[in-house]
Amino acid sequence: MPDFIYIYSYSGQFIERINLPTKPPNAYSKFIDFDNETYLVWAYVDENRYNIGHISFISKQTHQILNSFWEPHGLEQYYTLFPFWKNNDKTYFSMIITNKVYQITRDGYHLVYKWDFGKYNIDKYRESNAFKVNDKNRNEKSKKIDQDFSTIDDLYFFARKLENKTYYYAQIVFKNNPQTSPHVFYNKKTNNYHYFLKTIEGISFFTFLLKDNYIIGELLLDNKDDLLKTDFLSDRDRLILESMKEDDNPILIKLYFK
């Protein structure tokens, strides 16, 4: 949330602090290294005070805003977790409560595809519950939305939208519960799709990274005892899982495509 980007080495040593424009916007949340000249950032903006968008290009040389766009409704502003990702030197953008995926260019954005789950269309819910940041009933409406995501059976949000050379990928979450977070792989060439909650081995996970040959994700421990009974864990893996405590760092797993 501060007006800086901090860069560290993999060993945790501080390398550099990058100053970002202080006002506007109000605060920064997510960013991605767009190209050799610019950062792409998502920012929280007071729409009553500043006439800029929530997506901004910031110069790596001057650290000033070069271009900005995207004026979401308040509902969208509160539900932006992992808005940017890259594939084949292209940068994509989406929010967790929309089926639409956009490509970002230096000039703006354009729609490239959208997820079609039939009657389960999160955009309809988003559009019917949209509100402005300065709405007088903002807190009440936000609380209702939080409750809806936790209680309505067919309401979901996107945990991740990613892609590689073979698949468009999405992980969706029902009832605001990571344990009910199925994966959807849509084959770009065949138009076939795979939809599953757990792997054949019974592993459930929360995806962080998708590459052409593998996935990296956080192991979900809802069936920890069942996993310990299987014979595909190595002795080292079994020891890690057995010694896992509630406040430990997440266990990351790497799953290869066959």
pLDDT of residue 47: 66
Residue 236 covered by a domain: yes
- The ranges of the chain with pLDDT < 50 are none
Residue 43 covered by a domain: no
Q: How many structural domains does the chain have?
A: 1
Residue 244 covered by a domain: yes
pLDDT of residue 171: 96
Residue 243 covered by a domain: yes
pLDDT of residue 133: 65
User: DSSP per residue over the chain, as a string?
Assistant: --SEEEEE-TTS-EEEEEE---SSSSEEEEEEE-SSSEEEEEEE--TTT----SEEEEETTT-SEEEEE----HHHHTS-SS-EEEETTEEEE--TT-SEEEEEETTEEEEEEE---TT--HHHHHHHT---TT-TTHHHHHHHHHHHHHH-TT-EEEEEEEE-SSEEEEEEEETT-TTS--EEEEETTT--EEEESS-TT---EEEEEE-SSEEEEEEP-TTHHHHHHSS-S-HHHHHHHHT--TTSPPPEEEEE--
The domain in which residue 255 lies consists of 201-258
pLDDT of residue 72: 66
Residue 172 covered by a domain: no
Over residues 27-49, the pLDDT tens digits come to 788 889 999 999 999 887 766 66
Residue 11 covered by a domain: no
